Amino acid sequence: MSREPRGPNEKLGTVLALAGISNAGLARRVNDLGAQRGLTLRYDKTSVARWVSKGMVPQGAAPHLIAAAIGSKLGRPVPLHEIGLADADPAPEVGLAFPRDIGQAVRSATELYRLDLAGRRGGVGIWQSLAGSFSVSAYATPASRWLISPADSSVAREPKDAEDGTTAASTTGTASPDAIPPQRVGHSDVTKLREAAEDARRWDSKYGGGDWRSSMVPECLRVDAAPLLLGSYSDEVGRSLFGATAELTRLAGWMAFDTGQQEAAQRYYIQALRLARAAADVPLGGYVLASMSLQATYRGFADEGVDLAQAALERNRGLATARTMSFFRLVEARAQAKSGDGPACGAALKSAEGWLERSRAGDPDPSWLDFYSHERFAADAAECYRDLRLPRQVRRFTEQALARPTEEFVRSHGLRLVVSAVAELESGNLDAACAAGARAVEVANRISSARTTEYVRDLMRRLEAYRDEPRVAELREQARPLLVAPA
């Protein structure tokens, strides 16, 4: 459905001509982007003609999908005003700001938590209305501001500050003159958030970001964390509160990333970095930057992935534990490998391994790093060598990564099996590739992870040349639910 005509939309027509996209081509791109977000759209060349010649404005997420489709062709973000759709239903820039002021930072984070729930209640929400709006350039300002000043001078929030502006009640849309006064936050409140983050991390590792238990993290942020952020607290309690909320927010971003919701993940990551700055927790801020780096690399922006990982490293020299520094170097190696720089990747891997060897059991490693082990290092090293097309090295590190399978990290085990299958295939071992692939598919069918599904699909594409082989046909049948379901 479209709004009433406003006259020809010359801006849209001009940009379409500049991008070299036909009416039919734009309609197809918009429909495809919508399908990736679970939307059933049936636009055609006539629809686009109406948008251009009559100035009709499509409803819902369509204007933002149009901008994303054109931006993908031009290789840069395209704002709505450039294509004459600035008065469409707004997709707020919520979650993209990295405010200098701590009060504005609180409002930015809590607004993201509130808006996200709108989608979960059956509305269009951030998962769909912001579809296709991921832009790696949005990470530039947050990263630079964090590097310049990774801590706020004070985060104390007195009752008068909490009452001056958005109150806790307003996060549910029910604020009124009789709203309940902001609560006084204590250490016990923060402890509950940290416990929620630890529980969610375990579920995410075992069942994937799309598992219903994991998906309760955004609800926890809205219902539990937001009222606390909007409450009153001392500087000491506030630092701890911001740290716990940053962990939860980063985790929400990681789960969105794992389920293929890249736009939502980006916004969570930016807010998590801002909250880590308020917590004065430099290692945690580095962890958020490492997560941003992995996303940028996964999305095909390897150079930006290198920059983000190196930003995490530079600010943490002399601050983070050896194990933490090892992980940051490993993330850099992933980006260097994706960019095709073998020597830089090798240097980063060597440094990561050296840092890991220097770590000790008694080191004060942060709890959010409890997943990182020698097996995890080997698994990521294997992926680096896969990207560099060195199957012998992939096999060597994959064997180490699979040496101690655990039920605690089911998703990671499934990803490692796929990498193993690819290495076997590239080494000419079809039987071994199919065997590892079958085990990976069994794992993928048990969890809810778009990344794992995409890894399996990539394996099946590589096996296409052997589709007439009985072993491959059997594996394809086993993987059929993954091949036909939306990633």
3-class DSSP string for 289-346: HHHHHHHHHHCCCHHHHHHHHHHHHHHHCCCCCHHHHHHHHHHHHHHHHHCCCHHHHH
Q: Are 444 and 414 in contact (CB under 8 A)?
A: yes
- Note whether 68 and 104 are same-domain residues: no
Q: Are 185 and 353 in contact (CB under 8 A)?
A: no
- Note whether 133 and 217 are same-domain residues: yes
d(CA 416, CA 395): 11
- Note whether 68 and 110 are same-domain residues: no
- Note whether 241 and 121 are same-domain residues: yes
d(CA 29, CA 443): 33
Burial of 161: CB neighbours in 10 Å, binned 0-12, 13-18, 19+: middle
Query: Residue with structure tokens 């990521």?
Result: 380
The CA-atom distances, in angstroms, between 18 and each of 15, 47, 57, 66, 69 are 5, 19, 20, 14, 13
Q: Are 372 and 412 in contact (CB under 8 A)?
A: no
- Note whether 127 and 238 are same-domain residues: yes
Among 259, 280, 301, the domain-final residue is: 280
- Note whether 49 and 150 are same-domain residues: no
The pLDDT, as a whole number, for residue 23 is: 93
The pLDDT, as a whole number, for residue 210 is: 54
d(CA 106, CA 112): 10
Among 232, 250, 280, the domain-final residue is: 280
- Note whether 261 and 188 are same-domain residues: yes
Helix (H, G, I), strand (E, B) or coil at 259: coil
Burial of 396: CB neighbours in 10 Å, binned 0-12, 13-18, 19+: middle
d(CA 167, CA 336): 45
d(CA 113, CA 126): 10
Within a domain: residue 478? Answer: no
Within a domain: residue 79? Answer: yes
Mean pLDDT (the chain, rounded)? 84
The pLDDT, as a whole number, for residue 37 is: 58
d(CA 26, CA 45): 8
Among 280, 307, 328, the domain-final residue is: 280
Domain, as residue range, for 44: 10-83
Instruction: Note the pLDDT tens digit of each residue in 92-151.
Output: 578 889 999 999 999 999 989 887 544 443 344 444 555 456 788 889 999 999 999 888
Beta pairing partners, 233? 157
Instruction: Note the pLDDT tens digit of each residue in 416-451.
Output: 888 889 888 888 899 999 999 998 898 888 877 888
User: Does position 172 have pLDDT exceeding 50, yes or no?
Assistant: no
Taking the model in full, what pTM does it have?
0.77
Q: Are 218 and 168 in contact (CB under 8 A)?
A: no
pLDDT bin (cut points 50, 70, 90) of residue 57 is confident
| Neighbouring residues of 295: CB distance < 8 A, sequence distance ≥ 6 | 257, 262, 265, 266, 269
Within a domain: residue 152? Answer: yes
The pLDDT, as a whole number, for residue 59 is: 72
Q: How many domains does the chain have?
A: 2
At residue 366, φ and ψ (nearest 5 deg) are -65, 150
The pLDDT, as a whole number, for residue 177 is: 39
- Note whether 167 and 253 are same-domain residues: yes
Within a domain: residue 105? Answer: yes
Within a domain: residue 476? Answer: no
Which one has a higher pLDDT value, 167 or 10? Answer: 10
- Note whether 119 and 168 are same-domain residues: yes
Within a domain: residue 310? Answer: no
- Note whether 224 and 188 are same-domain residues: yes
Lowest mean pLDDT among 261-270, 280-289, 400-409: 400-409
User: Does position 187 have pLDDT exceeding 80, yes or no?
Assistant: yes
Within a domain: residue 230? Answer: yes
- Note whether 104 and 161 are same-domain residues: yes
At residue 233, φ and ψ (nearest 5 deg) are -165, 160
Rounded percentage of the chain residues whose pLDDT exceeds 90: 49
Q: Which of 203, 222, 217 is nearest to 407 (CA)?
A: 203
Distance of CA 231 to the CA centre of its chain: 28
What is the DSSP-derived secondary structure letter of residue 224? I
| Neighbouring residues of 91: CB distance < 8 A, sequence distance ≥ 6 | 61, 63, 64, 129, 130, 133
- Looking at residue 182, its amino acid is P
Structure-derived torsion over alpha carbons of residues 83, 89, 94, 100, reported in degrees to the nearest 10: 70
d(CA 395, CA 398): 5
Instruction: Note the pLDDT tens digit of each residue in 236-256.
Output: 999 999 999 999 999 999 988
- Note whether 144 and 102 are same-domain residues: yes
Tell me the DSSP string of 137-159.
GGGHHHHHHHHH--S-S---B-H
- Share of the chain residues as helix, strand and coil, in percent rounded to the nearest 5: 70, 0, 30
